[in-house]
Amino acid sequence: MNNDFLELYREHLSPALTRATQLVFEKGEGPYLYTTDGKRYLDFVSGIAVNQLGHCHPKVVAAAKEQAEKLIHCSLILGSYPSAVRYAKELAKVTPGELNMFFFSNAGTEAVEGALKLARWKTRKPCFIAYQGAFHGRTMGAISVTASSASFRARYAPFLPTIYHVPYPYCYRCLYGGQPETCSLDCLEEINRLFKYQTTPADVAAVLIEPVLGEGGYIVPPVRYMKGLEQLCRDHDILLIFDEVQTGFGRTGKMFAAEHFNIVPDIICLAKGMASGFPLAAVAASKEFMGDWTEGAHGTTFGGNPVSCAAGLALLEVFREENILVKCNERGSYFKKVLQGLKNKYPVIGDVRGLGLMLAVEIVDSKGQPDGETCSRIIAYCAEHGLLLMKCGTFKNCIRFMTPLNISRAALDEGISIFRDALKSVS
Ligand SMILES: Cc1ncc(COP(=O)(O)O)c(C=O)c1O
């Protein structure tokens, strides 16, 4: 049966989408996925950091079913409905600071487009500063600020003009040869250099940053860097946009990664974990900031879908009822310790990093250089033995672990044991 589906896929679905495996899935339950030929896989991908509560959490399923029986779609353009306004109200309680107004859309890339548009609309300034290594999506605006892989951009130029990319604070491979203890934040200084040579701050609408780099390698920036960046933005009257598409909804152990730095950005982009697997995204800002975005200045047919919003409400309820953040931090620190232990034993692991359950290891060769091939072999071994993992990083040499935030210790240990065997097999 699997082969029939694969053939049909090849016949009718575009080859442009990367496919990490050739598996054909039939159902998901908690941390497990099941293929059409009856095999069970432990899923440490979670729909690419989406399924914070695992697959098909009963409360999410019930809420979506109940909503689908009443109203599936009518468009927020035609009129409003309870699930969307209730979700916005609940969301406002958990977003940082006064970020209490939302423009709903469907995917991360749309949230980024919306944020860029809002920033230009508010400031009437043309330029943006974004990061080498950043991933913000595949639509034309989002790909213009994305710089995690040149291959994503090949043959799509010209991009949005007036985007300037600066280095992300990637301390493990510091571009300036620095060490954390003696770091003088040369990477932050790049922005001042930019202001000297390429653009004046008066032309820059916003700095767009992932508070933990996602596709670019699960890199956690130093607090000093983030604080310095916040100050620089304030000093020059430049907006600060956090792309929390991957880091949001508890993934890093806080509801939003901004909290790790005690920063309230002007705008945040949300998607992925927002509705437990249903498509939903948002641009978030304060009412004071977003409240004068004039009617018709932005739009969407599907954004804020009633079923997605009902699932989002259920997600927030489960977060409260089941202490999801506490669980995420417990499991995350346990898992990170185990990975650090494995690093001491297996030199192919050059670095262990991440926050909460947004964890990764960087795979290196004997000279400490990125080793994408060994990384692929480890992932292939794990898949063969029933554990699904995915890569990240510009050098395609990092393995990221995106378990459900409520994963049990037993399931976590099952995954760790397969991963340990994979390390043995390549060492
Ligand atoms: C930080 C970040 N922003 C934006 C996106 C784009 O989201 P989507 O694939 O839903 O368009 C992603 C996707 O991985 C992401 O990680």
User: Ligand 1 centre from 246 Cα, in Å?
Assistant: 7
Beta-carbon count within 10 A of 94 CB: 15
CATH code: domain 59-321 is 3.40.640.10
State which of 46, 213, 219, 245 you would mutate to test the pocket of ligand 1, scoring each by most atoms of that ligand within 8 A of its C-beta: 245
DSSP designation for 237? T
User: Ligand 1 centre from 112 Cα, in Å?
Assistant: 8
CA distances from 33 to 107, 357, 407, 416 (A): 23, 19, 14, 17
Give the torsion sign (CA, 152, 154, 159, 163): positive
Domain(s) of CATH 3.90.1150.10: residues in the chain: 2-57+323-426
User: Ligand 1 centre from 257 Cα, in Å?
Assistant: 15
Backbone φ and ψ of 206, nearest 5°? -160, 155
Protein residue closest via CA to atom 8 of ligand 1 = 108
CA distances from 292 to 41, 228, 241 (A): 48, 29, 18
- 392: which 2 tokens? 């990240």
State which of 105, 106, 109 you would mutate to test the pocket of ligand 1, scoring each by most atoms of that ligand within 8 A of its C-beta: 109
- Report which ligand 1 atom has the smallest distance to the Cα of 109: 11
Give the torsion sign (CA, 110, 113, 117, 123): positive
Domain(s) of CATH 3.40.640.10: residues in the chain: 59-321
Beta-carbon count within 10 A of 52 CB: 29
Amino acid at residue number 119: A
User: Ligand 1 centre from 381 Cα, in Å?
Assistant: 27
The number of helices, as runs of H, and strands, as runs of E, in the chain is 14, 15
User: Ligand 1 centre from 341 Cα, in Å?
Assistant: 31
Q: What is the 3-state secondary structure (H, E, C) of 286-348?
A: CHHHHCCCCCCCCCCCCCCCHHHHHHHHHHHHHHHHCCHHHHHHHHHHHHHHHHHHHHHHCCC
- Report which ligand 1 atom has the smallest distance to the Cα of 112: 4
CA distance 253 to 25: 29
pTM score: 0.98
Q: Which residues line ligand 1 (CB under 6 A)?
A: 107-109, 112, 135-137, 210, 214-215, 243, 245-246, 271
Q: Considering only CA atoms, which of 278, 316, 317, 292 is closest in space to residue 104?
A: 278
Q: In CATH, which superfamily holds the domain spanning 2-57+323-426?
A: Aspartate Aminotransferase, domain 1 (3.90.1150.10)
Q: What is the pLDDT along the chain (427 residues), one digit of tens a residue?
A: 678 899 999 999 999 999 999 999 999 999 999 999 999 999 999 999 999 999 999 999 999 999 999 999 999 999 999 999 999 999 999 999 999 999 999 999 999 999 999 999 999 999 999 999 999 999 999 999 999 999 999 999 999 999 999 999 999 999 999 998 889 899 999 999 999 999 999 999 999 999 999 999 999 999 999 999 999 999 999 999 999 999 999 999 999 999 999 999 999 999 999 999 999 999 999 999 999 999 999 999 999 999 999 999 999 999 999 999 999 999 999 999 999 999 999 999 999 999 999 999 999 999 999 999 999 999 999 999 999 999 999 999 999 999 999 999 999 999 999 999 999 999 9
Q: Report the half-sphere exposure of 354 (CA within 13 A, side-chain side).
A: 38
User: Ligand 1 centre from 66 Cα, in Å?
Assistant: 29
User: Ligand 1 centre from 135 Cα, in Å?
Assistant: 7
